[in-house]
Amino acid sequence: MSFDGAVPAAVPCTAIIAALANERAALARVPHAGLGWSVVQSGPGPERAARCARAAVAAGAQALVSWGLAGGLAADVASGTVILPRRVIMQRGETFAVAAAWHERLAALAGEFTVSFGDLLTVPVALGSSAAKAAAATALAAVAVDMESAAIAAVAARARVPFVALRVIVDAQTDALPVGAEKWIDACGNMRGAAALGAIVRPGEWQALWRLAQRYRKANAVLVRLARSVAARRLFDGAAGQG
């Protein structure tokens, strides 16, 4: 397992790319020896995710996973929903299908979690307002949004290796992010405590902060359970070669 964008010299068959430290931590808690996968913390955004994906493939990865949290775009996608998209979409409209056979195996998670199979949109900058989320949902018919998955999918497509995305919703469509929330995370995907604490001194942000904290706790708990389930079912084991 490697962190902060450092890809090991030799990667097991499946490379799992998580942008943030807390996303990586959910998998780090799971005993994974012999499961055939490695986790790379890329940092936020499509460029960093793509760079880590390319490095993982160069190091021998035969399959790629985009793992972590996401925001809700569709009105009926609530916090804690697992997103297992059949397609990921770039903001300009380019689409990438996930590996169908692998997706079918992962779909068994619907017996344990609330799962949506709708499209996942990738954007370079977080959609902070409910209006921006609703507009993106209308324009591209996506149910959720992140900042990495389509970039990883594009690398997988060029390398001709299987790809899937597995995300958990934090903020719903109607939730606005606190002003400056993007500054809470550094380039490596680690929390900037001082920046986050700065929002607490602004009374106008308290309601949004409280709501986001509640959503995050729920989503993170689901992400931890999801990591355990994926490992126990060996759903990332031997994923390479599944189209």
Give residue 233's identity as a one-letter amino acid code.
R
Q: What is the pTM of this model?
A: 0.86
Question: In this predicted model, what pLDDT tens digit does every residue of 1-39 receive, in sequence order?
Answer: 333 444 444 455 899 999 999 999 999 888 766 778 889
Contact 47, 151 (CB under 8 A): yes
The token pair at 226 is 């999801």
CA torsion angle 199 174 218 26 (round to 10): -80
Residues in Cβ contact with 42 at an 8 Å cutoff, skipping those fewer than 6 apart: 5, 17, 18, 19, 48, 49, 51, 52, 53, 148, 189
User: How far does CA 41 lie from the centroid of its chain?
Assistant: 11
According to DSSP, residue 106 is labeled H
Question: In this predicted model, what pLDDT tens digit does every residue of 106-152 receive, in sequence order?
Answer: 999 999 999 999 999 999 988 878 899 889 989 999 999 999 999 99
